[in-house]
Amino acid sequence: MVKIGVLGLQGAVSEHIKAIEKCDATAVVVKHKEELEELDGLILPGGESTTMRKLIDKYDFLDELKHFAALGKPMFGTCAGLILMAKSIVGYDQPHIGVLDVKVERNSFGRQKESFETDLDILGIADKFPAVFIRAPHIVEAGENVEVLAKHEGRIVAAQEGPFLGCSFHPELTDDTRLTEYFVHMVKKSKENA
């Protein structure tokens, strides 16, 4: 069975743990950087990216997270997690982990509604996926090797580049595990090929 961690410094951690377990993988809450070594894949949850970044620095996680990505181990960022993974953030000079070749804008659905749910078609993964958006970012630009997986009202809200998957919404907040299942499958394939 593959072992998937959820960065447990802040945000929607336990919901991701439950979703991973439903997909027949072992789920671990990661609170210490040493725990990353034993993992086959990692989920960066939603929450508040600025708070998460402060805690990443406080617990000295940043280099280890970059190292995890450099090993080519799959990473899945949801909402704030997507912001942590993006190579570029509108209004910021520096990215956080900076591994997924996209530019994101924070809180980009804010003016329409603080939070909402909509059915999304996610390319090759799920039709009518119930996507929960909470002060969500969107992807403004995607690099040439990035596959756009879903759009909402013309804005990119899910994308993948090799082992790196990101989405603007919260797949862990509904009972629909199709996106988590897809990530677990990515982790299994990556482990087999390692």
Applying CB under 6 A, the residues found at the interface with ligand GLN are: 46-49, 79-80, 83, 106-107, 134-135
For this structure, is 23 an active site residue?
Answer: no
Nearer to ligand GLN, 98 or 162 (CB): 98
DSSP 8-state assignment for residue 78: E
Question: Considering the complex, what minimum distance in angstroms separates the CB of residue 1 from ligand GLN?
Answer: 28
Tokens of 109: 């659905």
Question: Considering the complex, what minimum distance in angstroms separates the CB of residue 71 from ligand GLN?
Answer: 25
**For the chain, where are the alpha helices, taking DSSP H only?**
13-22, 49-58, 62-70, 80-85, 178-193
Nearer to ligand GLN, 13 or 20 (CB): 13
Task: Please tell me whether 47 is known to bind a ligand.
Answer: yes
Task: Please tell me whether 48 is known to bind a ligand.
Answer: yes
Rounded distance, CA 9 to CA 116, Å? 25
- Set 16, 79, 138, 161: catalytic member: 79
Question: Considering the complex, what minimum distance in angstroms separates the CB of residue 191 from ligand GLN?
Answer: 28
What DSSP string describes 118-130? EEEEETTTEEEEE
- Set 15, 161, 172, 181: catalytic member: 172
Nearer to ligand GLN, 46 or 166 (CB): 46
Nearer to ligand GLN, 2 or 167 (CB): 167
Cβ burial 57-95 (10 Å sphere, 16+ → b, else e): eeeebbebbeebbeeebbbbbbbbbbbbbbbbbeeeeeb
For this structure, is 167 an active site residue?
Answer: no
Residue 160's contacts (CB-CB under 8 Å, 6 or more residues apart) are 146, 147, 149, 166
Q: Which residues are annotated as a binding site for L-glutamine?
A: 47-49, 106, 134-135
The residues annotated with a catalytic role in the active site are 79, 170, 172
